Structure 1
Amino acid sequence: METRRALLVDAFADEPLSGNPAGVVPDAAGLTEDQMRAVASELGASETAFVRPGDEGEGREVRYFTPEEEVDLCGHATIATYAALFERGEIDAGTHTAQTAAGDLAVDVGEDDEVWMEQAAAEVAAVDVDHADAADALGIDVAALRDVGADLPLARASTGFPFLVVPVNYFEHLRDASPDQGAIADLCERADARGLYAFTFDALDRESTLHARAFAPLAGIPEDPVTGTGAGACGAYLRRHGALDGEFDEIAVEQGHLLDRPGTVRVETDGHDVRVGGRAVTAMDGEITVPENDDDDIVVA
């Protein structure tokens, strides 16, 4: 049977076994959707990126699979992919094109190992969801949401993966949340979103702008450690609502501490154009046996 190189790369992190792990298959040419989905399920990361030659020989096509489905874009898997390609000398520092289902996106790789990716143009829209329902889904007292809701309403925000954005007043309330995955899934369906992104300005690190948590049960992800698309969408949402100073200044979003996988996403946005950046560290480098189209058995070597 055929084997392919497979990596687990921790994105938005400076140390292994922190940040958000992504699967990366750097040579996925010829793999079918069923094979990619099976490999993603075996690797077990929230998303796995599959890299193939780009159209007309330009850039690279990148497709993203959760253990259950294909998604249009994944921020942390993109950062992980290009950091791993650079680390192994397969690409040089500079600007590269990632051809994704969300569009062709620029990825900048720095000599300092930091990777920045362009995201799809931000979409921010009002939603017909009240604070009581969001609070019930998160297992948070509704007062913690209404306290900031006058200035920052619930909204649907997307840079390629749509989130229901939920502001929370204090870290302790976000920390002590008791999320109901079924209720979150129902709420996301009502809001035409794929996940719920809850955040607070009450961050742990004095250099962080926000602390966040992300839940995406509709994509098979109960809680994501550090979420690039969520941070980018939330940054655009905050710009649109005038909650941040400066027009395009960088903000830092911390996440993952409650899952013992702390990481930081850096975001630049004017409310429409969005870039997110960070570093990534390879935690596992090996080979995976790819099943035949009708064979679900996969063995990691």
Structure 2
Amino acid sequence: MKYYIVDVFAQEKYNGNQLAVFVDAGSLTSHQMQRITKEINYSETTFITNNQSREGGYDVRIFTPAQELPFAGHPTLGTAYIIQQEIVKQPVEKVTLNLKVGQIPVSLHYSDNSVDLLWMQQKPPIFGQKFDKEAIAQVLNLPINDIDSNFPIQEVSTGLPIIIVPLKTLAAVKKAKVNLELYFELISNTEAKAILIFCPETYHQENNLNVRVFCDYFGVPEDPATGSANGCLAGYLANYAYFDADSIDIRVEQGYEIGRDSLLLLKAQKTNADIDVFVGGKVIMVAKGEFV
């Protein structure tokens, strides 16, 4: 089987979030997909199960080393890129993925006939339960005053639920360390199984937020660039007017603490009924190969 390795949300090779994409993988069982994903051992691996479009989209399954996911951000962008490059093989404005969460459209933008930027529109955010900051501070091994009490700690989902935690400073983000016993105790009673922490201080002045995402439940202690979680964050920021507005158009840095510098672009707009959420970034081809 042919497979491809790409770096998603990367400004250059060997940064961003690694993704392996298998094409024409419909003959594989779920068990085989899970074992292959564990063998590769990236945050996620995707399987395009049919190289022909169906109902306007391509059937794709997403796995972490621990389990299958209904939706994930960087696999969506990276897989759309491979579909355009290796299956469609011509410039198109949009590639749609048929995921377990439903159809997710990805728009492609070009420079000199090469894909320069990809954007996905995520599902409108659903806001779930809120959390006590003392309990979350203990999970993150942080003093309670590192948490920004002007905004809630809340479960948000645009396809995959995430616990959003606002912190005050970059120093607080950098020193956060998950207490695994308390983490697994917390998520035993929550729909969300991953935690996103963020702050308005950044490594680079041109960026607006710094983010880290912890997801041991999925077999990934820390993710270098998380499109799904940042989509939830985009909805959260617009809903609570974090930047004193009900819309955002920002740059988010992630992955610096684990040596995989990443850049995610977030847009969100609060409307009468919902919040429109878009997450964008670059995808860079790194390798091509075969599983034998």
Q: Which moved more, 1:254-263 or 1:108-117?
A: 108-117
* Cα shift readout 1:183-209 (whole Å, capped 9, x = no counterpart): 223223333212001111111222212
Structure-1 residue corresponding to 2:157: 158
Contact kept? 2:240, 2:246, Cα under 8 Å: no
Say whether the 8 Å CA contact 1:45–1:66 is kept in structure 2.
yes
Residues in 2 aligned to 1:260 and 1:281: alpha-carbon distance in whole angstroms: 17
- CA distance in 1: counterparts of 2:255 and 2:180, whole angstroms: 18
Which residue of structure 2 aligns with residue 122 of structure 1? Answer: 125
Q: State the 1:90 CA deviation.
A: 2.9
RMSD: 1.7
2:156–2:236 Cα contact (<8 Å) kept: yes
Find the partner of 1:61 among 51, 59, 62.
59
Structure 1 pair 247–19 and aligned structure 2 pair: CA distance change class (3 A): same
Name 1:207's counterpart in structure 2.
Answer: 206
Asked if structure 2 preserves the Cα contact closer than 8 Å seen for 1:255 and 1:262, the reply is: yes
The residue that corresponds to 2:182 in the other structure is 183
- Specify the alignment match of 2:234 in structure 1: 235
Checking the alignment, whether the CA contact within 8 Å between 1:72 and 1:100 is kept in structure 2 is: yes
1:10/1:282 contact within 8 Å kept: yes
Q: Does residue 8 of the first structure (1) align with residue 11 of the second (2)? A: no
Tell me the equivalent position of 2:278.
275
Moved more, 156-165 or 200-209: 200-209
Which ranges of structure 2 fall in alignment gaps of 5 or more residues?
Answer: none
- Which residue in 2 is equivalent to 1:169? 168
- Aligned amino acid, residue 118 of structure 1: Q
Match of 1:76 in 2: 74
Deviations 1:232-254 (A, max 9, x none): 10110111111135554421111
Structure 1 partner of 2:215: 216
Residue of structure 1 in register with 2:46 after alignment: 49
Query: Alpha carbons of 1:285 and 1:225: their partners in 2 closer, same or farther (altered >3 Å)?
Result: same
Is contact 2:237–2:248 with CA below 8 Å preserved after alignment? no
Unaligned runs of 5+ in 1: 290-301
Aligned residues: 282
TM-score, L = length of structure 2: 0.91
Which residue among 114, 121, 138 is the counterpart of 1:136? 138
Residue 26 of structure 1: which of 23, 38, 50 is its match?
Answer: 23
Q: Is the 8 A contact 1:47 1:77 kept in 2?
A: yes
Q: Give the conservation status (yes or no) of the 8 Å contact 1:27–1:51.
A: yes
Give deviations 1:83-140, integer Å, cap 9, x for gaps.
233344635331121111111111111113211111122112232x211111111111
In structure 2, distance between residues paired with 1:91 and 1:253: 30
Distance of 2:206 and 2:187 partners within structure 1? 31
Aligned to 1:288: 291
Q: Are the counterparts in 2 of residues 20 and 76 from structure 1 also a CA contact under 8 Å? A: yes
Post-superposition offset of 1:222: 0.7
What letter matches 1:202 in structure 2? E
Identity %: 28
SS in 1 for 2:211: strand
Conserved 8 A contact 1:215-1:222? yes
Q: What is residue 292 of structure 1 aligned with on the other side? A: none
